[in-house]
Amino acid sequence: MAFLQRAEYIVGAVLVLAMVTIGIINPAFWQLDNIFSLLRSNVVMGIMALGVLLVLVSGGIDVSFPAFAVAGMYLTIKLMLLVGYQGVFWPFVLATGIGMVLGFVNAFFVHRFSLIPLIVTLGTASMVRGFLLGVVGTSMININIMPKQLINFATAELWSVVNPDGTHYGLTAMILIYAGLAVAMHLVLTYTMIGRSVYAMGGDAVSARRVGFNLRRTTFFVYGLAGALAGFAGMLHSSMIWLANPRDFGGLDLDVIAAVVLGGASIYGGKGSVVGTMLGVFTLVMVKNSLIIMKVETTWQRVVVGLIIILATAITAYRDRKKSV
Amino acid sequence: MNVKRFANVDNNILQLLAVTALVFATMSILEPGKFLRYYNFESIFYTFPELGILSIAMMISMLTGGIDLSVVGVANLSGILAGVFFVNLTKGQTLSPEAMLLYVLAGILLALSVGIMAGAINGFLITKLRITPILATMGTAQLFTGICLVISGGPAIVGFPAYWAFIGNGKVLGVAFPLVIFVFVAAGVAFLLGRTLIGVNLMLIGANPKAAVFAGIRTARMVFVSYLLTGVLASIAGIILSGRANAAKSDYGASYLLQAVLISVLGGTNPAGGFGSVLGVTIAVIALMLLSSGFQIMRFSNHLIDFIWGAFLLLIMVVNYYNNTKRQNQ
Amino acid sequence: MAEPFLELRNIHKHFSGVHALNDVSLSIRPGEIHCLAGENGSGKSTLIKVIAGVYPPDSGTIEINGKSFAKLTPIESLEQGIQVIYQDFSLFRNLTVAENLALNSQLREGRKLVNWKQVRRIAREALDRLGIDIDLSAELDSLPVSGKQLVAIAKALMFDARMIIMDEPTTALTGREVDRLFSIVRAIQCQNIAVLFVSHKMREMLEISERITIIRNGLKVAEGPTSEFNESTITTYMTGREHTCQRFTFTPPPAGTPPRLEVENLGVPGKLSGISFSLAPGEIVGVTGLLGSGRTCLALSLFGLTPKHTGRVLIDGRPVPLTSIQEAIAAGIAYVPEDRLTEGLFLSQSINRNLLAAVFERISRFLVIDKAQNDSLARSMILDLQIATPSGKNPVSSLSGGNQQRVVLGRWLLTNARLLVLNGPTVGVDVGSKAEIHAMVRALALEHGLGVVMISDDLPELVQNANRILVMHRGRLVSEIEAARTDEDALSDLLKTLA
């Protein structure tokens, strides 16, 4: 049963099983446009999941990243409209920066006062959402006033197919950004000292301090990067759907954490991988999106997500228990 | 950790009372005309019980170092199921008041059994499958809210009988009925925690789960019971909530989750387990409601109040941090 | 005579009014094996931290290699070749052996990137230096304690170490592993590296060290070559009291009294088989054996933690089903686990609650606790056991170590325990409290007629306190010895033949 130890194999097996099942129920699942749209749905959630992975490996938890994503996206686009700026690069930098600074706030409370990360991030999430909706505004920024260059940027495709009836579908180029960030995250976690310090801190914070890791730096790195990724993902999301909604991403925290746990990361810290996380995200997105083609009403989505979370955590709890015996 | 620990518990309550008095005084000075009206306090008596009961539920789950993120989902599910029950059974009928009363009692039983079921599911996941409480209740929160959506289809369920509305809006001997319920619930839980096997064992388990096993305490059973209790309390809150609104919806009380955590911690509960008091939580919820009504009078938007609650939660945790380090240095 | 490697002179250290170190001097030569002995709270851990540069001394001088330091920083201490192996080893259970070994050098070089080839090379070299072979890519968590310790030692030796400080290194080791550790310590010594061995186990101190320094209440009370000490002088220095080593004498009860405990052919699949023995009221039976011999499993079985056992257990002639802790407690069996702080006490809770933890169920009616009984039971137990506290409502953390022990034992007296199972009753306990615990256990056997099963590694403890000693090996009882007819050396030889 050694293969059960490798979380990636479990989630991989679950994924294959789910794909086969869905494919049998509705062969339309295997059509290219469905696969493309699935991949597209992975991008934003996957980028956020990379940040959550980092936080879980460090031994923490973060429920504030959806709020940070909205903050990065909404504040940036508001500002762009205010000053009439067009462009892509700097807005993304700004959104990322906003997310990072907010992440630093989490890090400050978690590190300086050794507070429970769940409660800190619940607090900061409430503050950020409250501030956005209460002070900045509650109105949606629709396609008619969305900065055009952002839309153009996010509609870029790697590969387009034109159907006989003239409609067309394609594979979004944003998938490259996701892949690039994932590879970068993998490299950072595996080949840099700061990445290893995240595993060390999640494994045993006291020892990590003793051998000379700077835990303050690691904590700020972890929450800062998670916030930055959220801000970036928020901006990307809004560019891809041509809309900036300050109430967006409600309940996304649970989905993303579920995906990361499904991918084998331990909530106790010290364990988790980028590959597992990507597989976890893909599985969750696929099951959620496939409810429609399996003719299940969309109101069932949350029920299904809830069941997936319970199942995934039950499996990991079972695995951890087996190990400790 | 020393002799003064118990004195500190009382200190905590004193601190809370001081905060409450301060809030009261500030609001009275800032907006005497609006804040000090009877109507204002009366409305607080109607609105705070549901939040107070949710906070007590949260406190119970924290006693063993856990947390229950599904309380709001359970509350809504209870209200919605009761609503569906009424809508389907009483549709197009004119019932005598006696029959109606029976229906409402049945509805209450139904809602409470939802709480028991939900609590049993949480308890099963946490004690039998040994999923960490955060993840287990996150999952069930989705599940319960999801079931709410499936049942209601999205929009609010209306058509509750008048007796049901009485639970949320009525008066008994001139006292708001939700307040009456709260007093009974709070007294019951306080007795349960302080004087019964369950309460004492829960605190012992929270203080040291391993030692509890070796002392022969049936830890799994006790933790299971604590989540049952949390579920039942959440469904009571759901009954009051749907009674007060005379409707039930899957996303009612969404902001209550954070507030319940906040109030529980503010009331002196140790989120790591081992300590919590009903009195503390009660004072904390009153302080918070006074503050909240003050903000509303000063025309703060609900969003801004969310911002303030978040900030308040962090502030309280930081204050507790300083109190703890001070205590340890003594 | 060689120049000392480390020379501490007149070190003082205060912590908020407590004089933790009072004029302590210590001198260690290169390649010397030096023992630092003292009770818990004597100041020995403070002293280690001063040497490691964690705490700056208030006054006094530190001289390393002829270089003097007024304030030593952790970095400077490391640079001078001082390495500390703490009890928890400071290793990462979720990382591989290789990474654990190489982390420090990577950090020290101020690397930003990890070169995994280099990591494996560094790790391989470190293990080779000790002449041991451990799978480099194994997750550390999969190693036994002794394996983790070897990794920790290999790690400490990596940087031109001149002195290694080992904090209670033998606590979790079996007899054979201790021998292996000692041969490694001697090998380290041959490389002219000094070893400061912090311990409270007297036999080990006497066996391994060349010089001994003993501190008590922050004061150095003795120092000299090991040959000048023996167990009783060390004890006297450590505790400041004379300890009489009277052996426990057991007077059998009148004939016809049913045995307190009878174990008939007890077995647990894969762990225990064919265990049979009996125990009279008032008798203390010692159980020993190497780690993994099944002795802890025996204790857990008696406490109802192995529901799937075979065979019978009788208490006072009546068979008792032992499928849960609750049944064991109801049958009058009490179990005091090895680590009382983490497994026995509820530190933040009151003394009363700690005392009553196991009887709340009995004194409740319909779940409601009988307040009067609650108070009177707790009060009488505090008086009986002479627990020094103004009120039972104070938290148990306000008590001294010895009084905390009484609380744990008191909890079991309240359950009307008739059989007391002690697992490592004095592991990690200092000499003074140890004598106190022994006296208490003997008194319970003599005065209350309790049967006691004392499971321990500490052979002198068994010889002194038990009247019979059972030796276990591979899940079976292999030998039964009258304590009066043996001594620790004979027992120790017997255990070595098993290993």
How much is the pLDDT for B7? 43
Tell whether C125 is within 8 A of chain B (Cβ): no
Taking an 8 Å cut-off on Cβ atoms, the answer to whether B210 and C368 are in contact is no
Instruction: Give the rounded distance of the alpha carbon of A141 from its chain centre.
Output: 23
**C107/A193 touch (CB, cutoff 8 Å), yes or no:** yes
Question: Could you read off the pLDDT of C105-127 as tens digits, one per residue?
Answer: 888 788 888 889 999 999 998 88
CA–CA distance, B146 with A304 (Å, rounded to integer) = 8
Give the distance from residue C160's alpha carbon to the nearest chain B alpha carbon, in angstroms: 39
Superfamily (CATH) of domain C6-239: P-loop containing nucleotide triphosphate hydrolases (3.40.50.300)
Task: Provide the angle, in degrees to the nearest 10, between the axes of the packed helices C431-448 and C401-414.
Answer: 20
Q: d(Cα B192, Cα B200) in Å, to the nearest integer?
A: 8
B15 occurs within a structural domain:
no
Number of residue pairs across A and B with CB atoms under 8 Å?
153
Closest-CA distance of chain A to residue B84, Å: 17
Rounded to a whole number of angstroms, the CA Rg of chain B reads 20
Q: Report whether B79 contacts B242 (CB < 8 A).
A: yes
The answer to the question of residue B85 being in a domain is yes
Name the minimum distance, in Å, from the CA of B211 to any CA of chain C. Answer: 4
First vs last Cα of chain B: how many Å apart?
9
Question: Which residues of A fall within a CB distance of 8 Å from C48?
Answer: none
* CATH number for domain C261-498, candidates 3.40.50.300, 3.40.50.1000, 3.40.50.150, 3.40.1160.10: 3.40.50.300
Chain B residues within 8 A of A133 when measuring between CB atoms: 301, 303, 306
Beta-carbon separation of B318 and A113 below 8 A: yes
Find, among C343, C315, C347, the residue nearest to C329 by Cα.
Answer: C315
Q: Of the ranges A18-32, A98-112, B239-253, B310-324, which is most confident?
A: A98-112
- What pLDDT band is residue C1 in, cutting at 50, 70 and 90? low
CB pairs under 8 A between A and C: 59
Give yes or no for a contact between B37 and B289, defined as CB atoms under 8 angstroms apart. Answer: no
Q: Is B311 on the interface with A (CB under 8 A)?
A: yes
Q: Name the minimum distance, in Å, from the CA of B93 to any CA of chain A.
A: 30
Please tell me which of the candidates B129, B153, B303 has its beta carbon nearest to residue A299.
B153
CB pairs under 8 A between B and C: 85
Q: Which residue has the higher pLDDT, B91 or C154?
A: C154
C77 Cα distance to chain centroid: 28
Tell me how far apart the alpha carbons of residues B28 and A49 are, in angstroms, rounded to a whole number. 47
C295 touches chain B (CB under 8 A): no
Q: Does C329 touch chain B (CB under 8 A)?
A: yes
Report the residue from A192, A270, A271 with minimal CB separation from C113: A192
CATH code for position B273: 1.10.3470
Q: Which residues of A touch C165 (CB under 8 A)?
A: none
Cα–Cα distance between A19 and A25 in angstroms, integer? 10
Give domain status of residue B290, yes or no: yes
Give the tokens for residue C380.
């009488």
**Residue ranges of chain A with pLDDT lower than 70?**
1-7, 320-325
Q: Which residues of B are less than 8 Å from C328 in CB distance?
A: 216
Q: At C10, is the secondary structure helix, strand, or coil?
A: strand
Q: Is C172 on the interface with B (CB under 8 A)?
A: no
**Per the structure, how many domains does chain B have?**
1
Task: Tell me if B2 is assigned to some domain.
Answer: no
Candidates C77, C88, C103, C104, partner chain A, best to mutate (most A CBs within 10 A): C103
Share of chain C above pLDDT 90, in %: 14
Average model confidence (pLDDT) across chain B = 86
**Distance, in angstroms, between B301 CA and closest chain A CA?**
6
Cα separation, A42 vs A36, in Å, equals 10
Task: Give the Cβ contact number of residue B271 at 10 Å.
Answer: 21
Nearest to B17 by CA among B286, B225, B320: B286
Q: Determine, for residues B215 and C367 on separate chains, whether the beta-carbon distance falls below 8 Å.
A: no
* Cα-Cα-Cα-Cα dihedral sign, residues C488, C490, C493, C498: negative
Does the distance separating the beta carbons of C345 and B208 come in below 8 Å? Answer: yes
State the nearest Cα–Cα gap between B162 and chain A, in angstroms. Answer: 30
Which amino acid is located at B123 in the chain?
A: G
Distance, in Å, from the CA atom of B224 to the CA atom of B61, rounded to the nearest integer, reads 10
In chain C, residues with a C-beta closer than 8 Å to the C-beta of A196 are 95, 99, 103, 106, 114
pLDDT by residue (tens digit) across C184-195? 889 888 888 999
**Which structural domain, as residue segments, surrounds residue B228?**
33-329
The reply to whether B203 touches chain C by the CB within 8 Å rule is yes
Chain A CB contacts of C52 below 8 Å? none
**Which residues span the domain enclosing A237?**
2-324
How many other CB atoms are found less than 10 A from the CB of residue A145? 12
Helix (H) or strand (E) holding C351: helix C351-356
Q: B41: pLDDT confidence band, cut at 50, 70 and 90?
A: confident
pLDDT of amino acid A40: 93
Band of pLDDT at residue C245, cut at 50, 70 and 90: low
- Say which amino acid occupies C169: P
What's the helix, strand, coil split of chain C in %, to 5?
35, 25, 35
Tell me C228's DSSP state.
Answer: G
Mean of pLDDT values over C367-375: 87
Cβ distance A190 to C103 less than 8 Å, yes or no, reads: no
* Chain C touched by B301 (CB under 8 Å): no
Q: What are the counts of helices (DSSP H) followed by strands (DSSP E) for chain C?
A: 17, 22
Give the helix/strand (H/E) hosting C237.
helix C231-239
| Helix and strand counts by DSSP (H, E) for chain B | 14, 4
Q: Where in chain C is the domain with CATH 3.40.50.300?
A: 6-239, 261-498
CATH number for the domain harbouring residue A126: 1.10.3470
Of the residues A128, A302, A316, A318, the best mutation for testing chain B's interface (the one with the most B CB atoms within 10 Å of its CB) is A302
Q: Which residues, 6 or more positions from B48, have their beta carbon under 8 angstroms from its beta carbon? A: B182, B285, B286, B289
Task: Identify the bridge partners of residue A169 per DSSP, sorted by sequence position.
Answer: A161
Q: What confidence tens digit (pLDDT) does each residue in C443-499 have?
A: 888 888 889 999 987 788 888 888 899 998 888 888 888 888 887 778 877 877 776
Residue A78 contacts residue A137 (beta carbons within 8 Å): yes
Give strand pairing partners of C364: C369
As a whole-number percent, the residues of chain B with pLDDT over 70 amount to 95
- How many distinct structural domains can be found in chain A? 1
Residue B5 lies in a domain: no
Task: With CB atoms and an 8 Å threshold, state whether B207 touches C344.
Answer: no
* Closest in A190, A194, A271 to C94, CB measured: A271
Statement: residue B140 has pLDDT above 70: yes
Can you say whether the dihedral through the CA atoms of A218, A219, A220, A223 is positive or negative?
positive
Residues 12-51 of C with CB under 8 A from B: 16
Q: Bigger pLDDT: B70 or C461?
A: B70
Which residues from chain C sit within 8 angstroms of residue A271, using beta carbons?
94
| Angle, CA A100 vertex, CA A99 and CA A103 arms, to 5° | 90
3-state secondary structure B26-66: HHHHHCHHHHCCHHHHHHHHHHHHHHHHHHHHHHHHHHCCC
Check residue B79 and give its pLDDT. 92
